[in-house]
A and B are shown apart, each in its own frame.
Chain A
């Protein structure tokens, strides 16, 4: 049986791992290579590195660390942040990343997803979606995709509906979706299960949950109450509040299939 994935997200700014609350007030969490190695040793299933400054600054920053991570760790990892051209993506994949994730540039020009899929295969192409709850529409929750979320002063609504965008991303060639529920990000009250379930049902590619993990039970809820394929978290892992081996043991005892 395919296991549920536990994914550690490392937000990278200027070559260091940082973490903010609801995308603000970033604190230094440590060295990229040290954290990556620690997670690989502890049995995390995958790593995602988000360069959180790149998209909003309109630049691709120095990514020499990608190659160092690829040399060192033996689990899959994805790189996100400011990938705007096929050449950007190729450089990162050639450096040893397994997947690249696009977010704002895909919203600016959706055909970019197709071009990436054609160049590297859909399995390499992750579309990150930053989604915010925007009240209700006829009694149904309304979810809207946000753009340039790496910098609060530049963050804007794309006005796109989250579920429609997820469907479109799949149609265009995305191999996986990471859905970041912005209202839940960093506040540790659990994943947005309703929103995640809605997106999960809308597409047939893997969907990864991001935003809200605060304790062991939040991961169990995610996997027991939605068909979501993986749970991503950052601060609860970086701080040591939820050690990966303990989390896996907890989920395994609950009858959730994980790699231990």
Chain B
């Protein structure tokens, strides 16, 4: 079973429907017991980091998420929450992946939020991460965000918008997509299918 964490974000329905199209049933839940027992977990989220962290905290989900050993996929803000800190409201995040999320800089004439289709640039030399199986380098996916995580050793695919940032990240069983795979056409569907195909016991 896939648990979608009820993080209150507006993209939850889209994520559910994307899984439905792949023939997968998902349960929307904020119950730590259900989340801990799930084979895989999706942490969706749009909106502001301080609000999202406060919500996870109130629901008693911070330690629950940190202790998960099965595959976890954060989407958009859900991905950023996996990092250490966000400059948005100077918010401490879950701290599962090193790095600080910072605002995209509009001062150089860059349109912010970064909204639309942009390219995935696979990173690293060890071969593509299983999430990228069947995804052509340079494939377009759909982004909507005003903050971004830096590129690091955990970056699976970067994207370039006024400089490189992390588009797809993985550290052990914790993975995240800054873009919206649920709204990224066939490429996004492939990435979600790859997540579903990961062995449930996969650990770092």
Same assembly:
yes
Chain A residues at the B interface, C-beta cutoff of 8 Å = 1-3, 5, 40, 43, 45, 67, 70-71, 74-76, 93-96, 98, 120-124, 175-176, 204-206, 227, 229-230, 259
A74 and B114 contact, CB distance less than 8 A? no
Tell me the bound Cα distance from A20 to B114 in angstroms.
32
By CB atoms of chain B within 10 A, which of A5, A121, A204 has the most? A121
B116 and A45 contact, CB distance less than 8 A? yes
Give 4 closest A-B pairs by Cβ, nearest first.
A96-B13, A121-B47, A259-B140, A93-B10
By CB atoms of chain A within 10 A, which of B14, B114, B115, B182 has the most? B115
- B-chain residues with CB within 8 Å of residue A206 when the two chains form the complex: 111, 113, 115-116
B117 and A74 contact, CB distance less than 8 A? no
Tell me the bound Cα distance from A229 to B12 in angstroms.
26
Q: What distance in Å separates the Cβ of B40 from its nearest Cβ neighbour in chain A?
A: 20
Chain B residues at the A interface, C-beta cutoff of 8 Å = 10-14, 17-18, 20-21, 46-48, 106, 109-119, 140, 142-146, 160-161, 180, 182-186, 188-189
- A-chain residues with CB within 8 Å of residue B119 when the two chains form the complex: 1
A5 and B116 contact, CB distance less than 8 A? yes
Counted as pairs of residues, one from A and one from B, with CB atoms less than 8 Å apart, the total is 100
Mostly helix, strand, loop or mixed at chain B's interface?
mixed
A71 and B47 contact, CB distance less than 8 A? no
A123 and B117 contact, CB distance less than 8 A? no
B161 and A2 contact, CB distance less than 8 A? yes
Residue on B nearest A43 in the bound complex, by CB:
B185
Asked, given contacts A74-B182, A75-B183, A98-B183, whether A121 binds B46 with beta carbons under 8 Å apart, the answer is yes
A95 and B111 contact, CB distance less than 8 A? no
Tell me the bound Cα distance from A98 to B12 in angstroms.
10
A2 and B114 contact, CB distance less than 8 A? yes
Q: What distance in Å separates the Cβ of B109 from its nearest Cβ neighbour in chain A?
A: 8
B46 and A123 contact, CB distance less than 8 A? yes
Given contacts A71-B21, A76-B183, A206-B113, 13 further A-B contacts (CB under 8 A): A1-B118, A71-B17, A71-B20, A74-B188, A98-B11, A122-B146, A123-B115, A124-B46, A176-B113, A176-B115, A204-B106, A204-B110, A205-B112
- B-chain residues with CB within 8 Å of residue A230 when the two chains form the complex: 116
Tell me the bound Cα distance from A134 to B46 in angstroms.
39
Contact residue among B12, B106, B146 (Cβ-Cβ distance under 8 Å from A123): B146
Tell me the bound Cα distance from A230 to B117 in angstroms.
11
Tell me the bound Cα distance from A218 to B4 in angstroms.
43
Q: What distance in Å separates the Cβ of A115 from its nearest Cβ neighbour in chain B?
A: 14
- B-chain residues with CB within 8 Å of residue A94 when the two chains form the complex: 10, 12-13
Tell me the bound Cα distance from A175 to B13 in angstroms.
21
Tell me the bound Cα distance from A93 to B47 in angstroms.
13
A75 and B185 contact, CB distance less than 8 A? yes
Residue on A nearest B12 in the bound complex, by CB:
A94
B142 and A76 contact, CB distance less than 8 A? yes
A74 and B111 contact, CB distance less than 8 A? no
A229 and B116 contact, CB distance less than 8 A? yes
Q: What distance in Å separates the Cβ of A13 from its nearest Cβ neighbour in chain B?
A: 25
Residue on A nearest B106 in the bound complex, by CB:
A204
